[in-house]
Amino acid sequence: MTEQALDQTPVTRLRGVGTQLQARLTKLGIATVQDVLFHLPLRYMDRTRLTPIGAMQPNTEVVIEGTVRACDVAFGRRRSLVCKLQDDTGTTSLRFFHFSQAQKNNLRPGTRLRCFGEVRPGRAGLELYHPEYQFLDGPAPAPLEQSLTPVYPATEGLAQQRLRTIAGQALEMLAEGRLPDLLPAELAGGHRRPDLIAALRYLHRPPRDADLDLIARGEHPAQQRLAFEELLAHHLSLQRLRRQIRQLPALPLRRDKTLEADFLATLPFALTGAQRRVADEVAQDLARPLPMLRLVQGDVGSGKTVVAALAALSAIGNGAQAAVMAPTEILAGQHRHNFETWLAPLGLRIAWLTGRLRGKAREMQMAAIADGSANLIVGTHALFQEGVIFHNLGLTIIDEQHRFGVHQRLALRQKGKDGTVPHQLIMTATPIPRTLAMSAYADLDVSVIDELPPGRTPVNTVAISDQRRGDVVERVRTACTAGRQAYWVCTLIEESDVLEAQAAEATADELHLLLPGLRIGLVHGRLKPPQKEKVMALFKAGELDLLVATTVIEVGVDVPNASLMVIENPERLGLAQLHQLRGRVGRGSAESHCVLLYGTPLSRQSRERIRTMRQTNDGFAIAEKDLALRGPGEVLGTRQTGELDLRIADLQRDAHLLGSVKEAATRLLSEHPQRAAALIRRWIGDKERFVQA
């Protein structure tokens, strides 16, 4: 065999791997011998020591040896083959529900066996169900395993023994020195970690005295060595993307102080200190001739939109256009309303583009975007479609960016003029935990608006069982009779707009009967946009007392007079979504309340979520808890995109590594760029195209 690098050696070079097995390995993401080595065990079985039959304990895995004393077919609810196995300390049963006549004949009395399996309480004492076994023929039986036995992530038609055989061959090839250690010694060894080959050997074949609790927690030095390298690869990928983008030219957009002053004079409120600080950070970025890449985080109601408006004025004041892209029509409509209220008095024109805009209206908007008469363009994903041509796009503002597919964000970035790249401002009201921001958004500068405008009141959150639904209905009646408005939110039952709409309609009908004196509106995802907008406008104008809605109101709805929200079945939602919904109240000066109307029984995770919502209004504390409960893929909404598809590292557990990861990435890119590229290929491969959007 030629000395080919293992990342270039196809898995078919291993003995026994033909076309059929290759297809099954592909399902596990295994194409090369290197992939086999990085396909690590989920857990381990201890086959290194014998347990006397008399010392067996229920719910443990054991290796036992003994002599078959009897083997018969037992008839009960299910037919089974039962063998009695005996050693000097006692007798146990081996039970097989799937067996053949040949198997029964082979397990005849007097046969000596070594068995491995889980001990379970049975009808007549302890039993092993379907144990693995081998015959102990001759005076010198096979020795016991010398290392722990790995259990690998598998797929249908791929047995553990086959995976162990393949991994064993890969480990033999590893001895030939064909897997380079890409981390310089000064970066890899600073935390008492083993080198790459030693780490892989240990994790595939741990010694019998290995600390399994440490491994189960993911804290063994061998695991930490690989986690460090994986996090480094993701960080390098984002840093490399940042360097690539910032090598492209962008229009320098210096502050237009006159336009800015005119805008601030129209506002009925003063900016907070945090808004001014973040606006200054954005303005400094925009003034440079290289693309801004900045994420602005701020809790619900912190005033990110005003910061975005100031950034847009910098673009407009320099003769460029700004585009604001939002994930839903409701949120986009809210932005359109705000920007028209603020900027139309300054003589600026706002264009509007969504997928539902058709015919002459669409043509007029497209023409205004193309000829430059539209200064600011607000819309949904329709903005990045191929036929949309901007006159001179200088700035893109993407709200709730994690809700867009990666290709959508990339397409908007490519709408610049004459080879320039628009500056990019990303906003989110979903606070991102520091660990995620450092890893998922390593290509971005991060600004945090950490101050709420004066007059905002914390929302008092209570949890009430749906068995007290009548009390909650009375609470709504009292609030609305006193001149306040309320939301009643119906959560998703299944991934179905139809079922969700039906549930909301049924709830609205019920509340009409129970609250005959109240004016009740209904909004859900099945309504046409004009219908939704009409109901929302009535609610905002105070002409409706109660709005029954699905989670379509999660973002982009601002009604200061609404001071009560009921969220039905909150256990169906994640923490971040609950926090977003709750942020629709508490936007005025009146004391506000959120009622979590939960169904019983609650799972442990649901109880934890509800407890967190009751304890804090701090979006960042909630985000950290959400990360702990759900994991990074779901918190970011990127599980489907390939972003942060970590195989070994865990952002929560391995957060302590991120500081040294960041330092190592900077050094590798400057001192060892070839190693950086190889690390990205090893851990991310063709998924880098997702990360880079």
pLDDT tens readout for residues 220-271: 999 999 999 999 998 888 888 788 888 888 999 999 999 999 999 988 888 9
Q: Which pLDDT score is estimated for 631?
A: 60
Tokens standing for 140?
């010198």
Q: Which pLDDT score is estimated for 620?
A: 74
Q: Which pLDDT score is estimated for 187?
A: 74
Tens digit of each residue's pLDDT (9 = 90 or more) over 133-145: 989 877 676 788 8
Contact 377, 324 (CB under 8 A): yes
Instruction: Name the pLDDT band for 219 (thresholds 50, 70, 90).
Output: very high
Contact 30, 170 (CB under 8 A): no
- The DSSP 8-state label assigned to residue 132 in this structure reads E
Distance between CA atoms of residues 51 and 457, nearest Å: 64
Contact 291, 395 (CB under 8 A): no
| Mean pLDDT along residues 439-451 | 80
Helices (H) and strands (E) in the chain, counts: 25, 21
Instruction: Name the pLDDT band for 630 (thresholds 50, 70, 90).
Output: low
**Adjacency order of strands within the sheet including 293-298:** 350-353, 376-379, 321-325, 393-399, 423-428, 293-298, 445-449
| Mean pLDDT along residues 152-163 | 88
| Mean pLDDT along residues 101-116 | 92
Instruction: Name the pLDDT band for 645 (thresholds 50, 70, 90).
Output: low
Q: Which pLDDT score is estimated for 621?
A: 80
Comparing CA positions, the residue from 449, 436, 433 lying closest to residue 625 is: 433
Written in H, E and C, the secondary structure of 401-438 is HHHCCHHHHHHHHCCCCCCCCCEEEEEECCCCCHHHHH
pLDDT for 688 beyond 60: no
CA 300 → CA 397, 447, 558, 577, 617, distances in Å? 18, 15, 11, 11, 10
Q: Which pLDDT score is estimated for 689?
A: 45
Is there a common fold for 49-144 and 257-449?
A: no
Distance between CA atoms of residues 431 and 437, nearest Å: 9
To the nearest whole percent, how much of the chain has pLDDT over 70?
89
Instruction: Name the pLDDT band for 403 (thresholds 50, 70, 90).
Output: low
Tens digit of each residue's pLDDT (9 = 90 or more) over 52-73: 999 999 988 899 999 999 999 9
Mean pLDDT of the chain: 86
Domain range annotation of the chain: 11-44+150-210, 49-144, 257-449, 459-616
Q: Which pLDDT score is estimated for 171?
A: 94
Most confident of 422-431, 528-537, 541-550: 541-550
pLDDT for 494 beyond 80: no
Tens digit of each residue's pLDDT (9 = 90 or more) over 176-190: 778 888 888 777 655
φ, ψ for residue 482, nearest 5 deg: -80, 5
> Positive or negative CA dihedral for 578, 581, 587, 592?
negative
Q: Containing H/E element for 593?
A: strand 592-598
Distance between CA atoms of residues 130 and 532, nearest Å: 59
Instruction: Indicate the class that CATH gives domain 257-449.
Output: alpha beta
Instruction: Name the pLDDT band for 406 (thresholds 50, 70, 90).
Output: very low
Cis peptide before 601 (omega within 30 of 0): yes
Q: Which pLDDT score is estimated for 388?
A: 87
CA 353 to chain CA mean position, Å: 29
pLDDT for 640 beyond 60: no
Contact 354, 380 (CB under 8 A): yes
Q: Which pLDDT score is estimated for 496?
A: 59
| Mean pLDDT along residues 551-570 | 82
More confident residue, 475 or 413: 475
Tokens standing for 511?
């509340």
Q: Which pLDDT score is estimated for 693?
A: 41
Distance between CA atoms of residues 220 and 214, nearest Å: 6
| Mean pLDDT along residues 635-653 | 61
pLDDT for 526 beyond 90: no
Task: Provide the terminal-to-terminal Cα distance of the chain, rounded to the nearest Å.
Answer: 40
Distance between CA atoms of residues 453 and 303, nearest Å: 7
Under CATH, which architecture does the 459-616 domain have?
A: 3-Layer(aba) Sandwich (3.40)
| Mean pLDDT along residues 561-573 | 92
Tens digit of each residue's pLDDT (9 = 90 or more) over 342-366: 999 999 999 999 888 888 999 999 9
Q: Does domain 49-144 have CATH number 3.90.226.10?
A: no
